[in-house]
A and B are shown apart, each in its own frame.
Chain A
Amino acid sequence: MESTGSTPLQPPADTELHRRLVYGDESALAEVYGAYGPLVRRVAVRVTRSPAAAEDVAQEVFAQLWSRPYAYDADRGSLRTWLSMLAHRRAVDWVRSEARHRKDARADDSALHAIPDASPGPDETVVDRERSLLLHTALAELPQPQREVVHLAYFAGRTYRQAAVELGIPEGTAKTRLRTALRTLAESLADPPDPALERGA
């Protein structure tokens, strides 16, 4: 029952919240939502570009935490990072499934404008929108240690030093992981488009 890994012990708050979620205490879910709802929505809206879709994603993320509390392991990371990464994954899935729907809609030449939310807004070009999705897809596929730092530093607004403390890693490691991650992302733009994405898979 004790943490045996090399990862740091999580603050008691996460362990206690997890305990209450496991034992079916709804007030724990309300607390988690109050604390991390804004972060989850922020992540989701960056990926989906749609406030309505971001609300759907947030709702799904918190429903998943409630219904499958054992998917989160307090010994392996903070609830903040875990929720942020789950929201990102779900938001990328949402965009991909939108892309698939649009392709289908185009194929049978109807309902082309059924999903106005997913189209680029006036402030964003189609190319930028596509590149953004490519980047977020690549981000979702980064190795977990890199993804954790990116989520804390980028979505959760931590400095790299705060992220290092929160993850229990040296500052230099946090810097290196951010650098490796961002370079990988930058290079993914140069790569030819992912065929799986093209298929909307």
Chain B
Amino acid sequence: MTSEHDGVRDLLAAWAFGALPPAEQEIVPRHLAECHSCAAEAEKLRETVRLLDGPPSSRTGVRPWSDVLSTALRARPATPRVAAHAAPYAAAVAGLKALLPEAEGRWGTPVVHDWDVHATVAHLLAADEPLAGRLGIAARVPASPVAEGARWQDAWNRRSAEVIAHEHGRTPEETVADWAAQAAALLATPEAREPELAACATMLMGVRLPVADHFVVRAFEAWIHTDDIGRALGLAVPAPPAGHLGQLVRLAVRILGLALGPAAQPVLFAVDGEQQWVLGSEDEPIRAELALDPVDFCLLMGGRRTPDEVPRRAVGDEGAIRNVLERAASLSWL
């Protein structure tokens, strides 16, 4: 047996499939002319491919894209068209809706805190409620009265627990339907579509921000919990598209800057792909430089990374850097 014989033998399937590079195309027929066993094998493989091929098909009309799209949209409706400030929330809602069918039969999988997948969706139903209420959308779960002067975190946690308890008496599908309906109602408000209307500042969850920014906060929370659910189910949830991620980052930096206050030791803070900010005092020289990846920064702000473990590039005063990282992590309410 020659080495050419062995070489051709290895190539026969690729040859039969028409998958040989030009440089190797001549060697096969040359060898087949003189080797009966290869010729028999080649004939058998070629015949198999011929049967797979079938006769040449007559080309007929390709279905128009609009038909393909409308079939797809019947299975999963289009994301509502909203103004730029609400687009990250619309996308985050679409992203969670795309993930939830994968939870079928696994609703009891533990996610975060003591929540399973079902409870995490119920939490989001509660979490979207303050903005929904402000925009005139009625709560879907009856609410017990909140004591005057209660801290917003306490009221928030109580309401979340109340809704989760309520929803655990229903099916996951019912909870998902209610969460999705409330999200759709939020995205259908005039405030989601008209930037001028969304410019009014309002106090929600302990922070006074324009309604437009509250929509970005909703996107942030929906994405973080979607990522939680994805991890629990063993599915990698992609980070939001770059444009939306930038909106989340810029809002988070503003909230972080406010929390640090004007007296903190100044740190030059950079998020990859975004601009740089000076956090803290404007009257002192910069003490340190800190750079984070946008997703890592969001996960730190969302309480999904600790100051110790978050990957960073930092130079300068350790204390000033630690102050920024710890303050960022402390802001998480999720």
Stretch in B89-97, B105-113, B277-285 touching the partner = B89-97
Return chain A residues, CB-CB under 8 Å to B235: 70, 73
Q: CB within 8 A of A26: which of B12, B21, B54, B69?
A: B69
Interface of chain B residues 62 through 83 with chain A (CB within 8 A): 62-63, 65, 67-69, 71-76, 78-79
Cβ distance B96 to chain A, nearest Cβ, rounded Å? 10
* Chain A interface, DSSP helix/strand/loop, else mixed: helix
Q: Identify which of A66, A68, A131 gathers the most chain B CB atoms within 10 Å of its CB.
A: A66
User: For residue A101, which residues in chain B have a CB less than 8 angstroms away from its CB?
Assistant: none
Task: State whether the Cβ of A136 lies closer than 8 Å to any Cβ in chain B.
Answer: yes
Given contacts A185-B48, A189-B48, contact A75 B236 (CB under 8 A): yes
B223 nearest in chain A by CB position:
A23
Q: Contact string, A58-82, partner B, CB cutoff 8 A, digits 1/0?
A: 1110111011111001010000000
- Asked, given contacts A23-B94, A66-B72, A135-B51, whether A178 binds B13 with beta carbons under 8 Å apart, the answer is yes
Indicate if B207 sits at the interface (CB-CB under 8 A): no
**Residue A198 at the B interface, CB < 8 A?**
no
| Shortest distance from the beta carbon of B70 to any chain A beta carbon, whole Å | 9
How distant is the Cα of A65 from the Cα of B244 in the complex, in angstroms? 23
Chain B hits for A33, CB < 8 A: 65, 68
A18 touches B13 (CB 8 A): no
Interface residue count on the B side (C-beta < 8 Å): 60
The answer, among B19, B56, B236, for a CB contact under 8 Å with A158, is B19
Q: Which residues of chain A come closer than 8 Å to B56, judged between CB atoms?
A: 123
Q: Is B240 an interface residue (CB 8 A)?
A: yes
Q: Is B275 an interface residue (CB 8 A)?
A: no
Cross-interface CB contact of B62 among A41, A123, A153, A154, cutoff 8 Å? A41
Q: How far is the CA of A155 from the CA of B72 in the complex (A)?
A: 24
Inter-chain contact B54/A49, CB cutoff 8 Å:
yes
A30 and B48 contact, CB distance less than 8 A: no
Which residues of A come within 8 Å of B, CB atoms? 1-2, 15, 18-26, 29-30, 33, 37, 41, 45-46, 49, 51-52, 55, 58-60, 62-64, 66-70, 73, 75, 121, 123-124, 128-129, 131-132, 135-136, 139, 150, 153-154, 157-163, 172, 174-176, 178-179, 181-183, 185-186, 189
5 closest Cβ contacts across the A-B interface? A24-B94, A123-B55, A67-B75, A24-B79, A153-B19
